[in-house]
Amino acid sequence: MVYGLMIHSVDSSQTLHFSIFFTPEGNDANKKTRQQTIMRRILEEHLFQTHSGDQHSSVKLKASSTLDDADWLFRFTSDSKSSAQPGMDYTEGILRLQASSLFEYPKLVVWKQVDRVVYTLVCEPLDNPLLASNFLTLFVHEVNDHFRKSGNVMEEVTTRPDEILAILNFLLPGGQLLFINLHLYRHLKSQISSVLTQKA
């Protein structure tokens, strides 16, 4: 069983859109501090990935350009901007949080950032990180697919958490990671659509 799930902004470690914890420890008096600690660590990792990606593409472009080319400066600046752009739309990672006053046991944090929003799954150390990553991919797709029709996805997530819980009921029942293949996902997607249309 996973420890918890959070949806938060990549721009600040203070903006939390949704969270649910499946353990008593996750819901204790330190919940807010725990959430901010996780968000801060992910923000640091995201910034590291985006900045190191910019430097890596710049170094590669410097090595490939020569001073004999008259337009080397133009190519360098335009190429580095275009190659840095994809890194801004999507980042992902896995972090390990050590046991501390906030966590009795170490935790594995699997996260994906899509369109400036971070989807974070906090797992126990023995949980399968590939299943966690697969869940996040499906969850992000389902959330964006459902809420994009209404406009701003994050405003909808914040104002309609019951629909997030309905999606989680199928994709992460009781905090349990599932092995979901394409056929099962299609079945779950149809059930999710049915429940959410009944609610509307």
Query: Which CATH number do you get for residue 188?
Result: 3.30.450.60
Task: Enter the tokens of residue 58.
Answer: 């710049």
Task: Let me know if residue 63 belongs to a domain.
Answer: no
Task: Let me know if residue 107 belongs to a domain.
Answer: yes
Low-confidence stretches of the chain (pLDDT < 50) are 58-88
What is the pLDDT, as a whole number, of residue 164?
A: 95
| Residue 151 amino acid letter | G
Task: Let me know if residue 95 belongs to a domain.
Answer: yes
The phi-psi region of residue 174 (left if phi > 0; otherwise alpha if psi is between -120 and 50; otherwise beta) is: left
Task: Let me know if residue 70 belongs to a domain.
Answer: no
Q: Residue holding tokens 């008259």?
A: 70
Distances (CA, A) of 135 to 83, 88, 98, 123, 192: 28, 22, 23, 12, 15
- Which residues are paired to 16 by β-bridges? 8
Task: Let me know if residue 64 belongs to a domain.
Answer: no
What is the pLDDT, as a whole number, of residue 151?
A: 74
Closest by CA to 1, choosing from 168, 162, 186, is 168
What is the pLDDT, as a whole number, of residue 174?
A: 93
CA dihedral 123, 124, 130, 133 (to 10 degrees): 0
**Domains identified in the chain, total number:** 1
Q: 3-state DSSP helix/strand/coil percent for the chain, to nearest 5?
A: 60, 20, 25
pTM above 0.85, yes or no: no
What is the pLDDT, as a whole number, of residue 157?
A: 87
Task: Let me know if residue 66 belongs to a domain.
Answer: no
* Domain coverage including residue 155: 2-53+76-199
Cβ within 8 Å of residue 161, ≥6 positions away: 18
The phi-psi region of residue 108 (left if phi > 0; otherwise alpha if psi is between -120 and 50; otherwise beta) is: beta
